[in-house]
Amino acid sequence: KNQVEQSPQSLIILEGKNCTLQCNYTVSPFSNLRWYKQDTGRGPVSLTIMTFSENTKSNGRYTATLDADTKQSSLHITASQLSDSASYICVVRLGVGGGNKLTFGTGTQLKVEL
Amino acid sequence: DSGVTQTPKHLITATGQRVTLRCSPRSGDLSVYWYQQSLDQGLQFLIQYYNGEERAKGNILERFSAQQFPDLHSELNLSSLELGDSALYFCASSRLAGGGTGELFFGEGSRLTVL
């Protein structure tokens, strides 16, 4: 069964600290993996996309990694800010053989405090 | 601003009633997706349309239906509403049916409260 699991479910950190969010997937065939940020009550917004051949990609203070062999991805947030408080959702897209379907993780709820 | 417009933003209604949620995709996007997000839950895929045709179906109840019109806007109809239908309903659009990088652009959601 195609699944995407995220950990931790929730996380509280102090402003200025770093954190890492995890995403493990069993999706096959794999096409790409996106990290979305969803502010409370708002629609998700894409942060970064990882394809099979990419190991690391950065978007400002956000750095995503992908290990296609172990089917794991991480999102590292550096020097956290209060505005980073949000839900971070990992979404994996199946390849053509899987109908290009999307599988969503349930998200990691991050709270950044003073 | 994602370019995806959803109306209404908020809706309060009673059990047993019927409501219609509307979505206008980004200019040029042919694919529209509907998602339901209950309190503190993840996004649940309901249905996808591509260029007017139903493309994929998720966990959509029989009481719910949707369609995409020739101008590419979409409507989600929810009938015989129950308390458990209270949720945020998101519409998302993308340029393609499913190929390519497939980024989804989400609207701001319609918050439905059933009393």
Residue type, A51: T
Residue B47, pLDDT above cutoff 60: yes
Q: How far apart are CA B3 and CA B44, in angstroms?
A: 22
- Long-range contacts at A26-30 (CB < 8 A, ≥ 24 apart): A26/A1, A26/A2, A26/A71, A27/A2, A27/A3, A27/A71, A27/A92, A27/A94, A27/A98, A27/A103, A28/A2, A28/A94, A28/A98, A29/A94, A29/A95, A29/A96, A29/A97, A29/A98, A30/A68, A30/A71, A30/A92, A30/A93, A30/A94, A30/A95
Q: How far apart are CA A77 and CA A19, in angstroms?
A: 5
CB contact under 8 A, A45 and B41: no
* Range with the poorest average pLDDT among A44-48, A65-69, B2-6, B100-104: B100-104
Mean pLDDT of all residues belonging to chain A: 93
Comparing CA positions, the residue from B25, B112, B108 lying closest to residue B63 is B112
Question: Which token pair is B111?
Answer: 């918050």
| Least Cα separation, residue B83 to chain A (angstroms) | 19
Segment B22-46 mean pLDDT: 92
| Least Cα separation, residue B25 to chain A (angstroms) | 14
pLDDT recorded at residue B99 = 52
pLDDT tens for each residue of A98-107: 777 888 999 9
Which residue of B43, B44, B45, B113 to mutate against A (max A Cβ within 10 Å)? B43
Mean pLDDT of all residues belonging to chain B: 92
Task: Please identify which residue in the block is written with the tokens 């590292």.
Answer: A76
pLDDT tens for each residue of A19-29: 999 999 998 88
* Residue B38 or A1, more confident: B38
B92 in contact with chain A, both atoms CB, cutoff 8 A: yes
Q: How far apart are CA A94 and CA A86, in angstroms?
A: 26
